[in-house]
A = this chain, B = another copy of it.
Amino acid sequence: MTARNFPTAQDAENAFYEALERSDLEGMMAVWAEDEDIVCVHPGGARLTGQDQVRESWAKIFAAGGRARVHIAQQVAISAMMLAVHSVHENFTVAGESQPRPPIVATNVYLRTAAGWRMIVHHASPAAGQPAPAPRQAQPKLLH
C-alpha cells in the first residue's frame, strides 16, 4: 500500500475520487482508515464493513473495467477537530456514453488519524428526481 498522508479531509476526498477514476485499488485503499469500523455502501448495495469487505468490493468494481470521469458538485461540508462530513453529488460520465449518468448522492466521513485524514464512511445511493439547488457556495463549517 502506498504511504500517503492527507493533511486535510478535502485532500483525502480528492484522492478518493482520483483513485476511483483511475481504477487504482492501492490508491483507493490508501484513502481508507486502517480500521475495522470503516463502512462502505455502494449505490444499491449492501453495507460493507472492515478493510477486507471494502477492498474486495473496490477490486471487483475496478476489475469490471469501464473507466469513468466523476465530477463532484454541491458539496456540503461539516468539519470538527477529528471528524469531517462531506455530502456531495457524484456526476459520472462513462466513456462511450453520450449522456452523463443520473447523479449519485454520497455521504463521505473522514477521520483525523496519526497518519493524516482518512475515509471511514462512504455511503452512496442514486439520487432520484432533481437534486435540490445549492442554496449557496458554502465554505466548510469549522466547529472549532
Q: A residues bordering B, Cβ < 8 Å? A: 36-37, 39, 41, 43-50, 53, 74, 76, 78, 80-83, 85, 87, 89, 105, 107, 109, 111, 120-121, 123, 125-132, 134-135, 138, 141, 143-144
Contacts and interface: CB of A to CB of B under 8 A. Distances in A.
A140 to B, nearest CB: 10
A45 B132 CA distance: 11
Contacts of A129: 45-46
A81 B105 CA distance: 27
Given A45-B128, A78-B109, A107-B109, 9 more contacts: A41-B107, A46-B131, A47-B87, A49-B76, A49-B87, A85-B109, A107-B107, A107-B121, A111-B143
